[in-house]
C-alpha cells in the first residue's frame, strides 16, 4: 500500500482508546505525507487549527466511519 491521499483531502482519523476499542478521533485535513511510511500523514484537526499531528489514516473506514468502528470492535471482542 502507498499514500493515496493528498494535501487538502479531508479524512476521518481513528484511534485505539485506553479500553482497546477503536474510536473516531475526528475529521482532519491532510497537510503532508510522511515519507517512507505507508498511509502516514501530518494532519490538522478541524477543532485544533494550526496544530498538526502525525497519524496513520485507515482508508478502509472512510466511507462509513461509524459502521467501520462497530465492525472493528465487534471483531476484536471475539
pLDDT tens, position by position, for the chain (78 residues)? 567 999 999 999 999 999 999 999 999 999 999 988 889 999 999 999 999 999 999 999 999 999 999 999 999 987
Q: Structure pTM?
A: 0.88
Per-residue pLDDT, 37: 87
Total tally of structural domains belonging to the chain: 1
3-state secondary structure of 9: coil
Cα dihedral sign, 46-25-67-30? positive
* Domain span at 59: 10-76
Q: For position 35, what pLDDT does the model report?
A: 86
In a domain, 44, yes or no: yes
Q: Residue 2 falls within a domain, yes or no? A: no
pLDDT number for residue 2: 63
Cα 17 to Cα 42: distance, rounded to the nearest angstrom: 20
Amino acid at each position: 500500500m502507498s499514500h493515496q491521499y493528498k494535501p487538502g483531502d479531508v479524512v476521518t482519523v481513528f484511534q485505539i482508546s485506553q479500553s482497546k476499542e477503536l474510536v473516531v478521533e475526528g475529521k482532519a485535513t491532510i497537510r503532508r505525507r510522511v515519507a517512507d511510511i505507508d498511509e502516514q500523514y501530518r494532519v490538522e484537526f478541524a477543532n485544533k487549527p494550526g496544530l498538526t499531528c502525525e497519524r496513520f489514516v485507515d482508508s478502509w473506514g472512510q466511507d462509513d466511519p461509524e459502521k467501520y468502528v462497530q465492525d472493528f470492535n465487534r471483531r476484536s471482542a471475539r
